[in-house]
Structure 1
Amino acid sequence: MKIKNIKYIIGLFSIMVSIIACNDIELDPVQQDAVDSNSAIQDLTSATAAVDGMYDLLYRVDYYGRELMVIPEVSADNILVSPSNSGRFISNYTYAITTTNGDVEGLWTNMYKNINAANAIMFFAPNVTSLTTEQLNEILGHAYAIRGMAHFDLVKTYAFPYTTTDASVAPGANGTGGHLGVPLLSTYGQEEDAARATVAEVYAMIISDLTKASSLLPTSAYSASSKFNSTAAKALLSRVYLYKGDYPKAFTTAQSVIADSQYSLTSNANYASDWAGSVSSSEAILQLPAFQNDHNGFDALASIYVPDGDDGNKGYGDLIPTTDILALYSDNDVRKTWFRDIADVTYNFKFPNSWTNDIPLIRISEMYLTVAEAAANGAGTIEAGQDALNEIILRADPSATPTTSTGQPFLDEVLLERRKELAFEGHRLYDIVRNENDMVRTDLATASTLSELTYPDYRMILPIPQLEIDVNDSINENNTGY
């Protein structure tokens, strides 16, 4: 694979390493320049700084810093582009995506930067003789976790789901990942002309990487849940199993995460305040902490949603919640506090600090919803699924009626509650597509706005960047329709 600007590089940092008893790696993810890893990983300090470099890449605007959190929402039915917008995300909202679109290329490039960074660590760190076995395992555990995450983010964005059977939009689709996914980079320096692997092959490697990460990483949480620990790797693995349609493993893996006493649902009384800049440590399994002196400024996640942040910084306020998502929350639902009316416009203040909001990547509430969805699809027991869903329903609104549904009505309730609880966290379009649902908008920015995509519309996934096709001799055709 020939990807611009990422050959043999890894983000490394010239900052002090803080070593604590259980977790040797405890660095502030401050953005620095990338350097050649060939001569950089020489001891514990440089190895742990290299790990911190991988996490720093997650903050990029063209990754979890904004785009991967926003695009699955603006491309679906939770938000619309405000009439007084700055021109951002219009192509995503209108489904006018081309193979040369900046987001298409930016997401692809940054995800593969993370993968190359992880592969470099796996290649060089074992040669550092001064590392103890425990230190090396922790360093490698982070590399496996990040590589698994990046490959997963790629395959869910640039390929139809594992269970797809319609070969008209995904040639080779057979319900078990037989269609093309994305290139797999499994070794350092492999990026020259890597061909696209099947979705099944990509999932197999993701599952292997996250399983390995969970076995290598410490069990105790990092400060502010800023890095993967063993449980966080399991949490992401449960999401992977859910997307794959392996509901028994999604059920049991999510249950094992819930059983970790380090994490618990925030109470109804504290829920609203916990979104005031950061998610509580008990609720957040993995997040990107905000820093007053190191952020994406106007390109930060919250800035696209709010006109003025609670941190005193301005925002664009470009993307506003649809009337149908607003109508889903009862007056007693604590999540209704996310929304504020300003000058007759309702804005999304789930992330109220426009520049300095923590970005939640995995929350414990998702694990309860995974248990419920897996149970609705035949895993475990329906009673366990109902109990898990009721935890989310009653936490949000203690006066709500607990569910007793079964069958399709229960699955419908789960997916509705998932939409409500995880709104604006980058899940919506993926949830629609993996459940083979149509994307239907009832609240439109203009009369000409595209109101519906019937599954499986080719536009439900992104195209392979044209730049990649132009320079990679092993990729000659794009996704169907592009």
Structure 2
Amino acid sequence: MKNSYITSILFALIMVFSMSCEDLEERPVGVLAPEGLFQTVSELQSGVNGGYYLLAREEFYGRKLSLALLVRSDMCGIGDPGTATRRHACDLMQMEQDNGLVNAFWPMGYKILAAANTVINAKDVVSGTEEEINPVVAEAYFLRAYVHYVYVRLFGEIIYMNGEPLEDPYAVSQSSVPEIYAGIISDLEFAKTWLVDVPADRSHPGKAAAYGMLASVYMTKATSEAAEGGDWQSAFDNAKHVIDNEGQYGVALDNDYYDIFAPDYTSSEVLFKLNMIANDNHNITPGELGGSNAGTDQMTSITGPRGDERFEALNAAAAGWSAIVPELSVYEKWDGRDYRKAVSLDTAITYQGIPDYPFTEWDNISQNVARPAIAKYFRAVGEAGLRTGTAQGASLRDSNVKPIILRYAEVLLIAAEAAVELGNNDLAVQYVNRVRARARNAAGAGDAKYPPSPIPADHAGGITIAEIMEERRLELAFEGVRWYDIARRQMGNVFTGAAPALEDRDFDPAVDYLWPKYYVDVDLLPGLSQNTGYEGL
């Protein structure tokens, strides 16, 4: 990994300056040292912002990682059969060591880590007080923790990047899973201490995001090889801290589930999100920083239905690509009285001038399939654009959509899961019922189309882990967390094809819970080994 590793660091630094330091005074820098890069707190913040921009790149959450997480779960499959082979391989549990999705997002993740580490390493050389510097550096710690958390869940043992100088990149070795979790937890402990209570924008983490992410980390660690006796209690304590401090941190469940995903709505429920940087058609991001896909929302296009004419007022070529679609069984098994189904699934379009053209006829459209579409991206963006008159790019790209990384409903469900594990069923039921009550509220009593409903009913009495997993599946549908739940709870049986499975896949539990590591780095670095089942493929 010698060349790719060093390139990642240099590229990350170049991106930081190019994208977020436009206001910095020009000065010659002879070496890549912190004192040569940052001198003020505002410059430090610019460095953190560069890390966020890399996170939103097409190679990471712009499409590659986000798409992979969706299609790998039991909720989605391939709609357009002509879509890229790398996507089919991920969907069908046939990934090889050179899978194109991993090839794109693995190097980008390490560039994000390099950017975060550059900021962290500069905290002792910039001018300012601890109270001025540490809240900014805490964002870098949060970012570093989050990328490592993504990677340890997908790949297991990886190269953990703690920011220490490497004299010989060839000598670096992968860290154990317990070591990686220890580093993630340490970073989030710093973050929750120093992040602000209420960030100006939820594309920057505040304390609620740090506590919530730490709860998620402990929840996942509790079912991993790194598990320790106090993990479930730590997951519960961190989640409950957010619940007990809703007002202080400015978080709450949004009244209308639909609003969470509307780009024109400011949500109190979202704890951490990304801001996509519309660029292809709006010319906000210079092309030399990555070409036409840099910072562009591609998930809207990937999940939108082909042939759709509903949003042509926003762009003459506003139809989606039908590349990733829900499994038909997701639609069929979801109670139609659950408002979350209407928000999550798109079942009718306008096609050849015919309004409300049903999904059962969509196989008449070239490269489409007779299944509903995911509505949390394409339809949410299109309807917001019509409300606000905001022009969009072709296929509704350049939407400035807000991919959600963590929201308050998930924190409540983490608390519920941990409470069950700790034997506190009453609290678990209470937390799940809060999420269900919002779902039953639908769009409110005054809405004729989606009035309040008795579904899903309050839980009465005990609740099981299986029931919480099902609540997570529906509440967080198509938000990129389902695969993580399948892996951490070892639920490979959801791919058996037999009820209650949603998909039929040739799932090998000895191989498929982990993904192949980036083969270039595995080949070049003696200290990085490939995961079982992918060697030599």
Aligned partner of 2:242 in structure 1 is 257
AA of the residue aligned to 1:139: V
Aligned partners of 1:443 and 1:222: how far apart in 2?
Answer: 46
The yes-or-no answer on 1:150 pairing with 2:150 is no
Asked whether the 8 Å contact 2:252–2:408 carries over to 1, the reply is yes
Asked whether the 8 Å contact 1:439–1:452 carries over to 2, the reply is no
Aligned partner of 1:402 in structure 2 is 458
Aligned partners of 1:316 and 1:250: how far apart in 2?
Answer: 39
Asked whether the 8 Å contact 2:496–2:504 carries over to 1, the reply is no
Asked whether the 8 Å contact 1:182–1:196 carries over to 2, the reply is yes
Deviations 1:279-321 (A, max 9, x none): 6420100001245445858761221100358554442121111
What is the TM-score normalised by the length of structure 2?
Answer: 0.75
The yes-or-no answer on 1:184 pairing with 2:169 is no
The yes-or-no answer on 1:216 pairing with 2:216 is no
Task: Tell me the C-alpha RMSD between the 2 structures.
Answer: 2.7
Asked whether the 8 Å contact 1:125–1:136 carries over to 2, the reply is yes
Aligned partners of 1:120 and 1:291: how far apart in 2?
Answer: 23
Aligned partners of 1:329 and 1:460: how far apart in 2?
Answer: 26
The yes-or-no answer on 1:360 pairing with 2:404 is yes
The yes-or-no answer on 1:287 pairing with 2:273 is yes
Question: What residue ranges of structure 2 are gaps of 5+ in the alignment?
Answer: 24-30, 223-230, 286-292, 350-356, 362-369, 382-395, 442-453
AA of the residue aligned to 1:118: A
Change beyond 3 A, Cα 1:14–1:320: closer
Change beyond 3 A, Cα 1:415–1:16: closer
The yes-or-no answer on 1:231 pairing with 2:208 is yes
AA of the residue aligned to 1:437: M
Aligned partners of 1:15 and 1:433: how far apart in 2?
Answer: 36
Aligned partners of 1:105 and 1:275: how far apart in 2?
Answer: 29
- List aligned pairs for 1:99-138, cutoff 5 A: 99-128=97-126, 130-138=127-135
AA of the residue aligned to 1:138: P
The yes-or-no answer on 1:80 pairing with 2:57 is no
Aligned partner of 1:348 in structure 2 is 374
Aligned partner of 1:318 in structure 2 is 323
Deviations 1:151-191 (A, max 9, x none): 111100102xxxxxxxxxxxxxxxxxxxxx11111124338
| SS of alignment partner, residue 459 of structure 1 | coil
Change beyond 3 A, Cα 1:54–1:182: same
Query: Bigger radius of gyration, 1 or 2?
Result: 2
Aligned partners of 1:279 and 1:439: how far apart in 2?
Answer: 38
The yes-or-no answer on 1:98 pairing with 2:96 is yes
Q: Percent identity?
A: 27
Aligned partner of 1:167 in structure 2 is none
Aligned partners of 1:236 and 1:431: how far apart in 2?
Answer: 15
Q: More helix per residue: 1 or 2? A: 2
- Segment of structure 1 superposing worse, 427-436 or 182-191: 182-191
Aligned partner of 1:204 in structure 2 is 182
Deviations 1:117-170 (A, max 9, x none): 111112223212x323222112211111111111111100102xxxxxxxxxxx
Aligned partner of 1:53 in structure 2 is 50
Aligned partner of 2:353 in structure 1 is none
Aligned partner of 1:457 in structure 2 is 510
Deviations 1:347-399 (A, max 9, x none): 111113242121011000101110111122225x2111001111112211251
AA of the residue aligned to 1:93: D
Asked whether the 8 Å contact 1:76–1:439 carries over to 2, the reply is no
AA of the residue aligned to 1:458: V
Asked whether the 8 Å contact 2:215–2:239 carries over to 1, the reply is yes
Asked whether the 8 Å contact 1:278–1:359 carries over to 2, the reply is no
2:491 alignment partner, one of 437, 458, 471? 437
Change beyond 3 A, Cα 1:323–1:376: farther
Aligned partners of 1:56 and 1:157: how far apart in 2?
Answer: 22
What is the TM-score normalised by the length of structure 1?
Answer: 0.83
Change beyond 3 A, Cα 1:247–1:205: same
Question: What residue ranges of structure 1 are gaps of 5+ in the alignment?
Answer: 19-26, 28-34, 160-180
Change beyond 3 A, Cα 1:481–1:428: same
| SS of alignment partner, residue 132 of structure 2 | helix
Matched residue pairs, number?
Answer: 433
1:386 alignment partner, one of 410, 415, 429? 429
Asked whether the 8 Å contact 1:306–1:316 carries over to 2, the reply is yes
2:66 alignment partner, one of 52, 69, 72? 69
Change beyond 3 A, Cα 1:436–1:84: closer
| SS of alignment partner, residue 91 of structure 2 | helix
Aligned partners of 1:57 and 1:291: how far apart in 2?
Answer: 11
The yes-or-no answer on 1:243 pairing with 2:220 is yes
AA of the residue aligned to 1:317: S
